[in-house]
Copies of this chain bind each other. A is one copy, B any other.
């Protein structure tokens, strides 16, 4: 069994370690996570290992991206298992700060990113991207990596953090990795742990519906009609849909032209669990 990676919880220890990596001439890749690591996260860490000589994984369940009624307190926390998984990948450093290290007394700053954060998730979780942009901005500033690896599973988030890095001159190249799925198509997510057996059986419908819509659009169907059909498929299995949408894959703006790159995105509730997914057309 591989040695567990070194874990630091303080910004100054993170900076000292990353400074050491850079002094060796290494490039550094950061994988920001909220822990509860699954094969999707492992793939992100493997990608980080591939593109940089040194890999840092942060584990921080960020309170500011949850609204009061959301699942912050029940969000799975599995640090020990997480460390074993990261050891197997050969991650060099785990940064697991406390909430007070990230948000000390009197903390009052907030980073907002407009543009790609408009609509979709923001219509249903208006606090979300402000919380994400602030914590990712801080992680980028604290760690100062060359690369950061995010999953396409949170596609809108990927666009937001890409814009964030560019707009604040953070110098971090954001790398997106295609979503890892179960055999039946369900996108891997820490929140899948909330699903009971029956829900787990139904959950892949989001992916299936999006995949059919993508096929329909590729065959010439109008995006609006394909999206409406997908929504109907998901609702037919009893899920409560927040949105199913076809958007410009780069800007996430509503579609205007034929021929622009299209991404299909959806969010829906299965009981008390909110699932999201997206695919390219």
Q: Given that A138-B168, A168-B137, A169-B11 are known contacts, is A115 also in contact with B111, CB under 8 Å in the complex?
A: no
CB neighbors of B among A94-139 (8 A)? 104, 106-117, 133, 137-138
Q: Does A167 interact with chain B (Cβ within 8 Å)?
A: yes
Q: Which residues of B contact A166 (CB under 8 A)?
A: 104
- Quote the shortest CB–CB distance from A222 to chain B (angstroms): 28
Query: Whole-angstrom distance from the CB of A104 to the nearest CB of chain B?
Result: 8
CB contact between A108 and one of B114, B142, B169 (< 8 Å): that residue: B114
A263 at interface (Cβ–Cβ under 8 A)?
Answer: no
CB contacts (< 8 Å) of A110 on chain B: these are 111-114
User: CA–CA, A138 to B115, complex, Å?
Assistant: 18
**A111: B residues at CB distance < 8 A:** 109-112, 168
Q: A225 contacts which chain B residues (CB < 8 A)? A: none
In the bound assembly, the distance between CA atoms of A163 and B112 in angstroms comes to 17
The chain A residues found within 8 Å of chain B, CB to CB, are 11, 104, 106-117, 133, 137-138, 141-142, 163-164, 166-170
- Other than A108-B114, A110-B112, A141-B168, give 20 A-B pairs with Cβ distance below 8 A: A104-B166, A104-B167, A106-B163, A108-B115, A108-B116, A108-B167, A109-B111, A109-B133, A109-B163, A109-B164, A109-B167, A109-B168, A110-B111, A111-B111, A112-B112, A137-B168, A138-B169, A141-B169, A141-B170, A142-B169
